[in-house]
Structure 1
């Protein structure tokens, strides 16, 4: 005779059972035959059971196992060695786990997701883990500060599609990736001791997304040939990176390229053939920037270049007829706006968001630019010599958002602000000498204005104090007023 306990149960969570030491399998009596425990259980979560040292080992249908916030790694080895049906294993916050048990996944041939997170004493992952994971599709390892290397055999994970390593501060080596022809996403974040990316990365021919963030020792990216499906590259906070991949020009499917906070890199790149590129963002790059053949990027929708002190010129943008957002600001040697903005033969007919300014500090006035009738959002960056806003702005009658940033020489906002009748939000910031808003008559012409924000403008702040400031009556009718992020109405 055989029997079943919890015959219909499919999901089980045991949480905060802090005094639970043993969770044993029910022993069948001779007269009762076999008793199958949890015969249909598919998901098991064990969390915050600090004293638990053992658990049942046989769950014939278990697919997802998550073990979290435990003091000991014993339940992991105890449970996993007899499992055969796992497709998802998540191990989080196991405080005294130093190494994953050998052979822990040897009987699971269909495991597709493995995550190891926040295990402060983990120093190694046994070599046979990969050998047991032929069907693994996603591998995530994060917040393991003492993990110094990953086991060899990464190249055997032929089904791996996503590989993410995050916040492993002691990691010094990632094994070679030759053979990972199914890999679509590879991301390495916050690994300051990692000196290089794995060899063979350029042979991951299915790669679509590459992200490298806060890896301060990486000096190069080993891609010398084209990756035909690569669509997105994001590299940030890599202080020793001196150049972009030499094979970047062959990645002709690239749609998004972002380089941020890479103080040593030089972006001297020909963009000829990048007809699929939709977004190019360069932020806080101290090295030389030369954008050759930018005009060939005819699919570009977002172009953003900011805080780049060695950007001297912007190529022609006239052919970028799909451009929706253009940001060129805080590039201190630039002396003019892009020609496409200044030309009378205006071609950027889809542009709806513009951020511009912060140019050469010796300029006495803001460079002239063409009226953009369809523009909806405008941010203007000033510099100390300026004492007025560019007058062309009064003709941008479709504006719903206007931000005025760092105009220290400006004392009063112009009366022509009244012409911006579609304006819904006005943001004024970092303008230390600004004191006056337009007249009350001008402000009342802005019938759609719902939000006004004043940030780090000490004189204007004082004059806009609720009910008593001399400028308050000009804005008291506006529904949302925030001053230095404090809501005043």
Structure 2
């Protein structure tokens, strides 16, 4: 309701003294001009607010005491999450704040002992977080992502026994050694850390099943991974000073998904994946995502060894004009996505494409030259892909 300005409270009822006595869930989305709203919500448990004026939001939360879940999205006027929101809602279990561009800080309160999940995503001006947030006794998920101006990440020391999911985005050069104590963490994401040069040893994180290290342009090396035997998903992307892959990938015997790329832009080729020590990955890896950079004009030949993969995504190989003939050897492939390859014109030969007998979905996204050549019925490459059940070409 883009033109809604006022949601009026009704006159005080004579009988009950309140307006919404039973309402438990309230969602307000994309009412950018809404400046006022009722505040009689004595039973409200779940509140989702997106794109409304700060004054209306203040009305709504001013008397809330029963919240268990609070989501705040795209509130451009919000500069600080008021302490009263946490102080007055002792049963709050989940707090999410997404894309609040002016948010600078968040107050904390020890009263919210039930809080299990805190997620703060895409708040670019966020500068400070209190250490007390990570000492909450029930906390299992703590994610601060896409917030590169956070001066320092809250202390992790001593909180590792209960955390299950941890996301880190900050301006630190070196992450806290307390990360080593997070032995119960199953998912770890280190993302958008512009100054980060060092990550502490992760060898004690034996519960880790997913690890992501992305958009850390000054990171020069990846910590030892050899003890992470439970890892099934690994993502290392857009770390421009990396020039090689971790040497201990062969120890990751459970790895099913590997996403790599965006490495040292001075490199003319992808870091090698051909080591004989990676042989077990050739038969166990299921999905592979390759992210290129400007200097690359071809896919790494090493990946033709990964004959068991069922999904392959090729992204940002801008110079490449032709996909290799050996692509047809990936006989288990069910899903192939080609994304943002501006100069790509040629698929492998028709014979190679026909060997991909299990390929069910081909997705071509933002590849202008290939899109034209794959036009249904008329494109020069169409005959190569006409047999694929689902071809999705997106501008």
Q: Which moved more, 1:141-150 or 1:121-130?
A: 121-130
* Partner secondary structure for residue 122 of structure 1: helix
Which residue of 9, 25, 36 corresponds with 1:75?
Answer: 9
Q: Provide the residue aligned with 1:233 in structure 2.
A: 166
Residues of 2 paired with 1:278 and 1:77: CA distance? 55
Aligned pair 1:305/2:239, yes or no? no
5+ unaligned residues in a row in structure 2: which ranges?
none
Does structure 2 retain, via aligned residues, the 8 Å contact 1:72–1:94? no
Q: Provide the residue aligned with 2:35 in structure 1.
A: 97
TM-score by length of 1: 0.63
Q: Provide the residue aligned with 1:249 in structure 2.
A: 180
Q: 1:457 to 1:78 in 2, by over 3 A?
A: same
Structure number with larger C-alpha Rg: 1
TM-score by length of 2: 0.76
Q: Provide the residue aligned with 1:188 in structure 2.
A: 120
Instruction: Report 1:31-430 matches (<5 A).
Output: 71-75=5-9, 78=12, 82=18, 85-86=21-22, 88=24, 90=26, 92=28, 93=31, 95=33, 97=35, 108=42, 111-122=44-55, 125=58, 129=62, 133=65, 135-153=66-84, 154-155=86-87, 157-227=89-159, 228-235=161-168, 240=171, 242-313=173-244, 314-332=246-264, 336-337=271-272, 342-344=275-277, 346-348=279-281, 350-356=284-290, 358=292, 383-384=296-297, 390=301, 393=304, 397-402=307-312, 406=317, 408=319, 413-414=324-325, 419-425=329-335, 430=341
1:292-351 per-position Cα deviation (integer Å, ceiling 9, x unaligned): 33112221110110121122441412332111112232312597436xx51257344532
1:204 deviation in Å? 0.9
1:146-192 per-position Cα deviation (integer Å, ceiling 9, x unaligned): 34444444345432211223344444442233343221011223444
* Partner secondary structure for residue 206 of structure 1: coil
Q: 1:122 to 1:329 in 2, by over 3 A?
A: same
Residues of 2 paired with 1:446 and 1:116: CA distance? 47
Residues of 2 paired with 1:78 and 1:187: CA distance? 37
1:220 deviation in Å? 1.4
* Partner secondary structure for residue 163 of structure 2: coil
Residues of 2 paired with 1:326 and 1:195: CA distance? 32
Larger helix percent: 2
State the superposition RMSD in angstroms.
4.2
1:261 deviation in Å? 3.2
Does structure 2 retain, via aligned residues, the 8 Å contact 1:300–1:323? yes
1:96 deviation in Å? 5.2
5+ unaligned residues in a row in structure 1: which ranges?
1-47, 49-67, 362-382
- Higher-RCO chain (CA-CA 8 Å, sequence separation at least 6): 2
Aligned residues: 382
Residues of 2 paired with 1:159 and 1:233: CA distance? 22
* Partner secondary structure for residue 346 of structure 1: helix
1:196 deviation in Å? 0.8
Does structure 2 retain, via aligned residues, the 8 Å contact 1:202–1:225? no
1:397 deviation in Å? 4.8
Residues of 2 paired with 1:148 and 1:421: CA distance? 53
Does structure 1 retain, via aligned residues, the 8 Å contact 2:145–2:191? no
1:400-434 per-position Cα deviation (integer Å, ceiling 9, x unaligned): 445556384665743x5554444445555627375
1:62-87 per-position Cα deviation (integer Å, ceiling 9, x unaligned): xxxxxx98533531784795369546
* Partner secondary structure for residue 226 of structure 2: helix
